[in-house]
């Protein structure tokens, strides 16, 4: 059972600009295993729970609109789960700092991200910040049967269906 896993969301700004493949190519270079992937719409509720720690920030509403694709006329994100040694730190390093202007030019955000003239932070991808957040986020975005590996404890509910414990 993998001890370390992380959630990546390829955000609507990257989808709109045709950068999903570039993100995947870069993440593929890491010694991590892709154990979950899906295209999914982001409901208001999912967005708010995902970013619950930021609900008091002045940019919260814009952040929710952004991840829901409302700023880029995109209906979905690409959600990915990577597992392996130090998955959280490895993906954060490749992602780069939150603000694309401050991110290393060799990182995904530094090379492909941008601040728009309207002040929207188009930073390409979400990456979990620590193991605890990764677990919270992965179990929020994925059902147990959507992952190739039983990362966390789950229980059967009906037939083949399982839910996180
Ligand atoms: P992270 O994505 O690098 O973990 P967080 O601080 O968790 O950064 O913020 C989550 C997201 O909120 C960022 O990726 C970015 O889209 C947005 N965000 C963070 N700080 C700002 C800001 O100062 N202005 C606008 N958007 C921000
Ligand atoms: Mg964060």
**Mean pLDDT confidence for 110-133:** 96
Q: Is the pTM of this model over 0.95?
A: yes
Q: Which residue has the tokens 């619950």?
A: 52
Neighbouring C-beta atoms of residue 29, cutoff 10 Å: 8
Cα 69 to ligand 2 centroid, rounded to whole Å: 18
Would you say residue 69 has pLDDT above 80? yes
Query: To test ligand 1's pocket by mutation, which of 10, 63, 66, 126 has the most ligand atoms within 8 angstroms of CB?
Result: 63
The number of the ligand 1 atom at minimal distance from the alpha carbon of 53 is 7
Confidence class for position 2, pLDDT limits 50, 70, 90: very low
Nearest CA to ligand 1 atom 6: 98
Contact 26, 34 (CB under 8 A): no
How close is the Cα of 57 to the center of ligand 1, in Å? 10
Q: Is 126 a catalytic residue?
A: yes
The binding-site residues of ligand 1, defined as CB within 6 angstroms of any ligand atom, are 54, 59, 63, 98, 121, 123, 126, 129
Would you mind telling me the total number of residues written for the chain in this entry? 165
Nearest residue by C-alpha to atom 24 in ligand 1: 59
Q: How many CB atoms lie within 10 A of CB 86?
A: 16
The predicted pLDDT at position 25 comes to 98
What percent of the chain is predicted at pLDDT more than 90? 95
């Amino acid at each position: 059972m993998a001890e370390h896993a992380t959630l990546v969301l390829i955000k609507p700004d990257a989808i709109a600009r045709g950068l999903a493949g570039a993100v995947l190519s870069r993440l593929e270079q890491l010694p991590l295993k892709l154990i979950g992937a899906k295209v999914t719409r982001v409901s208001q509720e999912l967005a708010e729970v995902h970013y619950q720690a930021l609900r008091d920030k002045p940019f919260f509403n814009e952040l929710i609109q952004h991840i829901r694709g409302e700023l880029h006329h995109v209906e979905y994100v690409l959600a990915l789960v990577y597992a392996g040694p130090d998955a959280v730190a490895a993906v954060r390093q490749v992602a780069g700092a939150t603000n694309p202007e401050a991110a290393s030019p060799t990182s995904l955000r530094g090379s492909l991200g941008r601040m728009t003239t309207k002040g929207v932070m188009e930073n390409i991808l979400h990456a979990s910040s620590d193991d605890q957040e990764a677990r919270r986020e992965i179990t929020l975005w994925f059902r147990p049967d959507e992952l190739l590996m039983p990362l966390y404890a789950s229980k059967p509910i009906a037939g083949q269906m399982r839910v996180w414990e």
